[in-house]
Structure 1
Amino acid sequence: MAANIVSLSARELADWLADPARPQPLLLDVREGWEFEHCHLPGACHVPMGEVPARLAEIAAAPAVVCICHHGMRSMQVAAYLARQSEGQVFNLRGGVDAWSIEVDAALPRY
């Protein structure tokens, strides 16, 4: 259910990733290949949106998944799907990689 999805700001995700005491999430980038090649968060796993159902077992094995796209819309759709299909915690990066570039790492190219 969508109620199980937590929306994270770029700053909240950055703080989580910087905290060695917290288990690290799977950073699931659901954008197209050319978008991922242009820019992505360090450590992100690239699984285009259309391939998520075929790789569900691999993704669902993670105790926490943060879904990422350009602005947070496609990733929210994937997050809703994962919340229905798995038991793990599901998060969506609000504003996507664009927000990450603005709020956390200006060196990440915007498009």
Structure 2
Amino acid sequence: MPKQIDIAAFAEAYAAGAPVVDVREPYEYEQAHLPGAKLIPLAEIPARATEIDPDTTTYVLCAAGIRSLRAVEALEAAGYDVVNVEGGMNEWAAEGRPYEQGPVQG
């Protein structure tokens, strides 16, 4: 079973500098994203998985936790240390936690 974490525990890991991969689409990312989150849309995970450090625990999120769960399942099967963020950006924003808006940088 894929590893999962709730928003409160994820917030602590994120504050400590844990890497985050956002698997939503670019238009969703532009509407609201975590500073420093790397955008890799779910459909691009197989081709871009090498952009994720396999030796570091990486947190994966989407809007609500469904797409990120699929990404975590695929990445775990490939040997990555990844954790699904339950509730995703929807829950993060609903709790009033900070986020940015705007296009993907870099």
TM-score, normalised to structure 1, is: 0.80
AA matched with 1:94: E
How far is the alpha carbon of 1:17 from its aligned partner?
2.3
Aligned mates of 2:99, 2:81 — CA distance in 1: 29
SS at match of 1:52: helix
Q: Could you list the runs of 5+ residues in structure 2 that have no partner in the other structure?
A: 102-106
How far residue 61 of structure 1 moved from its aligned partner, in angstroms, is 3.5
- Shift >4 Å, 4+ stretches: 106-109
Alignment correspondent of 1:91: 83
**Closer, same or farther: CA 27–107 of 1 in aligned 2, 3 Å:** closer
CA contact (8 A) 1:68 1:75 kept: yes
Q: Alignment identity in percent?
A: 31
User: Mind listing any 5+ residue stretches in structure 1 that lack a counterpart?
Assistant: none
1:15 aligns with 2:12: yes
**Distance of 2:15 and 2:73 partners within structure 1:** 26
Deviates more, 1:89-98 or 1:61-70: 61-70
The answer (yes or no) to whether the contact 1:10–1:104 under 8 Å persists in 2 is: no
Distance 1:99 1:49, change over 3 A: same
Size of the aligned set, in residue pairs, is 101
